[in-house]
Amino acid sequence: MIKLSNVSFGYQRGRPLYEGLDLSLSTGSIYGLLGPNGAGKSTLLRLVSGLLYPKSGTIRVGDYLPGNRQPAFLEDMFLVPEEFYMPSVRIRQFVDSNAPFYPRFDREQMKNYIQEFGLTDNQKLNELSYGQKKKVLIGFGLATNTAVLLMDEPTNGLDIPSKSQFRRLVAGAVDERRTVVISTHQVRDLETLIDPVVILAENSRSNMTVALKASVEAITAKLWFGMVSELDTNRPILYSERAIGGYAIVAENLTGEPSRLDLERLFNTVQAEPRRISQLFSDTSIYATL
C-alpha cells in the first residue's frame, strides 16, 4: 500500500507543485499515472521512492516513510527513471554488482528477459542504444521482485515490437503483493496494460492534483466512448473531436451502454472537464477542491 496524505511539494518558494495531495494505491495492480507536461509525474515517483522529500504531509509505503531511506525499504523498492546513466560494463557485470541489494532478485528471470529483448549478458552497456539500455533496466527492475516497482516513461526509446514485449512481461511480473506504477504520456502504448488509471490535472490554485483515480470498469460504467455522425444535444457530451465520418466523443453513460475505453480521449476529457469528472467519480476520485 502506498499512501500520500496532505502532501505539499514545490521546487520554488511560494510556487507549490502539489498542495494537500492525497492518493492511495493498493497492491496487486498496475497503475497508470497520466498528466500533462510539467504536471509532476516524475516528481511524484521520486517522492514515493524517497529521492525527494515533501514540504509537508506524510508519505507511507507499507510500513516505511520513504524519506528515511531505511535499507529494508530500499531493498523492496525499484525505480526505472526516464533519464539514467549506465556504466561502461557488461550486462552480467551490472547484474552481479546490483543484484545483491535486492533479496528477491531472480537471476533466471533476468536471463530470460535479456534473451526476450534480443540481448546477451556479454554486451557492454555503453555500446547499446538508448532503447537497449532501457530494456536492460526494465528487465532488471522486473527481476528484483520488489513490492513496489515505479517506472517513469518506460516505453520511451522502445520500438513497436519491444512495446508489445514490455506489456506482456510487465503483466506477467505482477502478483498480489506487488504495486506497479507507470508514468507515461504515451497512453496508446499502455492502454491494454494499466488498470486503475490515475490522472493529474490543475486546480484553481494552479496546483496539480489527482483529478481521477478509477478502474477501467468504473470508467466505462460512467463514461461512453464512441463515434457519432453528428453531435447529439440529447447526449451529455463531455469531450468531442472531429474524426473521419463524424465526431469521436466521450459522454456521460446514462444508459449503461458498453464501450471500449479510449485512454487518450479520457485524458483530454479530464483536462477539459475536471469538475464534472470529479462529480461523476466522487466515490472513486480523490480530486481536491477546484
What would the pLDDT profile of 236-278 be if each residue is shown by its tens digit? 999 999 988 899 999 999 988 999 999 999 999 999 998 899 8
Task: Please state the rounded mean pLDDT for residues 129-152.
Answer: 96
The answer to whether 14 and 2 have CB atoms below 8 angstroms apart is no
Q: What is the CATH number of the domain that holds 191?
A: 3.40.50.300
Identify whether 43 is part of a domain.
yes
- Statement to judge: residues 151 and 248 lie in one domain: no
- Statement to judge: residues 17 and 78 lie in one domain: yes
- Statement to judge: residues 198 and 222 lie in one domain: no
Identify whether 167 is part of a domain.
yes
Residue 257's Cβ-count burial label (10 Å; 0-12, 13-18, 19+) is exposed
pLDDT tens-digit profile of 55-81? 999 999 999 999 999 999 999 999 999
- Statement to judge: residues 52 and 174 lie in one domain: yes
- Whole-number Cα distances in Å, 62 to 4, 29, 144, 252: 11, 15, 17, 36
- Statement to judge: residues 11 and 154 lie in one domain: yes
Q: Domain residues for 249? A: 216-280
- Statement to judge: residues 269 and 221 lie in one domain: yes
Q: pLDDT confidence of 288, banded at 50, 70, 90?
A: very low
Which residues are CB-neighbours of 100 under 8 A, at least 6 positions away? none
| Domain termination residue (choose one: 137, 171, 202) | 202
Tally of domains in the chain: 2
Identify whether 129 is part of a domain.
no
- Statement to judge: residues 194 and 225 lie in one domain: no
- Statement to judge: residues 34 and 57 lie in one domain: yes
pLDDT tens-digit profile of 214-245? 999 999 999 999 999 888 767 899 999 998 88
pTM value is 0.90
